[in-house]
């Protein structure tokens, strides 16, 4: 019973220490003027247009449909992630932020896609998911292993030295 009380007390103290006053006021984040009234068209590359017949949409397929997208009155195209990934999480588990997923094309295809969209007066934005990381060892885990005193990740395991919050009560 003492352990449960102590755990609840610790959680309450943490909540009180980090609580903020709720005022009901909000501030709209700043955004570029062009985006305030823009029409956005979201594209998930894998399902949009397949140019090479492999059953997976790709950047070349998207390029081939840019005139159609523009004809809808689109000002900006918003892309779901298309970086290199093992695709355990629909491409959000990015393995290499500097490389286009081979199933979608190449870095040169992406550059051409941006250029072609800009020629048509459309802007390009994409999900840049820096808070997600592939479970397959990617760039960050490789770099982190060069440093000492940094948590390390082995695929499928917890970082070393990591104590999840939900196991805190059991250890009290």
> What pLDDT, on a 0 to 100 scale, did the predictor assign at position 88?
81
Question: What tens digit of pLDDT does each residue of 58-80 get?
Answer: 999 999 999 999 999 999 999 99
Find out whether 162 and 153 touch, Cβ atoms under 8 Å: no
CATH number given to 32-148: 3.30.750.90
Better-scored residue on pLDDT, 135 or 83:
83
Task: Tell me the average pLDDT of the chain.
Answer: 78
Give the count of beta carbons closer than 10 Å to the beta carbon of residue 43. 20
3-class SS of residue 117: helix
Question: What tens digit of pLDDT does each residue of 116-154 get?
Answer: 999 999 999 988 777 665 555 555 555 555 655 555 555
- For residues 143 and 153, give the distance between their C-alpha atoms in angstroms, rounded to a whole number: 11
Q: Which two tokens stand for residue 54?
A: 């492999």
Range name among 11-15, 26-30, 73-77, 81-85 with the lowest pLDDT average: 11-15
Q: Which two tokens stand for residue 41?
A: 């068209």
- For residues 81 and 126, give the distance between their C-alpha atoms in angstroms, rounded to a whole number: 7
Domain boundary assignment for the chain = 32-148
- For residues 14 and 6, give the distance between their C-alpha atoms in angstroms, rounded to a whole number: 12
Confidence (pTM): 0.62
Among 34, 29, 20, which Cα is nearest to 125's? 34
3-class SS of residue 10: helix
């Amino acid at each position: 019973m003492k352990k449960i009380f102590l755990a609840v007390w610790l959680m309450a103290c943490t909540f009180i220490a980090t609580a903020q006053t709720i005022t009901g006021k909000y501030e709209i984040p700043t955004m570029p003027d062009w985006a305030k009234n823009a029409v956005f068209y979201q594209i998930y590359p894998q399902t949009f247009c397949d140019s090479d017949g492999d059953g997976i949409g790709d950047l070349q397929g998207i390029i081939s449909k840019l005139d159609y997208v523009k004809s809808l009155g689109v000002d900006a195209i918003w892309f779901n992630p298309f970086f290199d990934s093992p695709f355990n999480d629909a491409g959000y588990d990015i393995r290499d932020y500097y490389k286009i997923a081979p199933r979608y094309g190449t870095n040169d295809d992406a550059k051409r896609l941006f250029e072609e969209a800009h020629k048509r007066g459309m802007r390009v934005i994409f999900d840049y998911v820096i808070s997600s990381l592939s479970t397959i060892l990617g760039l960050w885990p490789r770099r982190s292993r060069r440093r000492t005193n940094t948590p390390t990740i082995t695929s499928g395991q917890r970082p070393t030295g990591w104590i999840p919050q939900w196991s805190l009560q059991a250890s009290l």
